[in-house]
Amino acid sequence: MSGLARIMQDRGAVPSGADAMESEVVSDLRSSGIRIATGDDPLAEDIPGDCELVVCSAAIRPDDPALERARAANLRILTYAEAVGLAMKGRTGVSIAGTHGKSTTTSMLAHCLVECGMDPSYIAGARCPQLGGGWRVGAANLGSGEDSRPGIFVAEACEFNRSFHRHRPTIALINNVEEDHLDFYGSIDEIVESFRDFARLLPPTKDGGRLLIAHEGGHRREICSGLDCEIRTFGFAPSADHQIVHDAAAGRIGIMEDGAFVAGWDTMLAGDHNALNAGAAAILAHWLGASWDRIAGALETFEGVERRMQRLGTVDTRDGGKAVVIDDYGHHPSECEATLRAIRTSMRPRRLICVFQPHQHSRTRFLLEQFARAFGRADLVIVPEIHFVRDSEEERRRISASDLVDRLRATGTTAMHAHPFQAIVEHLEEVLCDEDLVVVMGAGPVWQIGHELVARNLHGGDS
pLDDT value at residue 146: 41
Residues 6+ apart with CB under 8 A from 49: none
Q: What is the pLDDT of residue 148?
A: 44
Q: Where in the chain is the domain with CATH 3.90.190.20?
A: 310-458
Q: What is the pLDDT of residue 461?
A: 52
Q: Can you give the pLDDT at residue 145?
A: 39
End-to-end CA distance of the chain: 38
**Superfamily holding 2-81:** NAD(P)-binding Rossmann-like Domain (3.40.50.720)
Interatomic CA distance for residues 139 and 393, integer angstroms: 47
Find the angle CA(205)-CA(207)-CA(212) to the nearest 5 degrees.
45
Helices marked H in 301-411 — which ranges?
333-347, 361-366, 368-374, 393-398, 401-410
Helices (H) and strands (E) in the chain, counts: 16, 22
What's the CATH class of domain 310-458? alpha beta
**What gap in Å lies between CA 168 and CA 177, rounded to an integer?**
20
* pLDDT for 142: 44
Q: Which of 349, 368, 348, 350 is nearest to 358 (CA)?
A: 368
Q: Got the DSSP string for 32-98?
A: TT-EEEETT-GGGG---TT--EEEE-TTS-TT-HHHHHHHHTT-EEEEHHHHHHHHTTTSEEEEEES
8 Å CB contact between 186 and 126: no
Q: What is the pLDDT of residue 434?
A: 96
Query: In this predicted structure, what is the pLDDT of residue 161?
Result: 83
From 22, 92, 112, select the one nearest 299 (Cα to Cα). Answer: 112
Please report the pLDDT score of residue 139 as a whole number: 61
What average pLDDT values come out for the chain (463 residues) when binned by 10 residues? 87 89 87 89 76 88 86 92 89 93 94 93 87 74 46 91 92 92 86 96 96 94 95 97 95 95 95 95 97 97 90 94 95 92 92 96 93 95 92 90 96 95 96 96 94 85 43
pLDDT recorded at residue 50:
86
pLDDT at 308: 87
- Residue range(s) of every CATH 3.40.50.720 domain in the chain: 2-81
CATH superfamily of the 88-300 domain:
Mur-like, catalytic domain (3.40.1190.10)
Give the C-alpha separation, 181 to 173, whole Å: 19
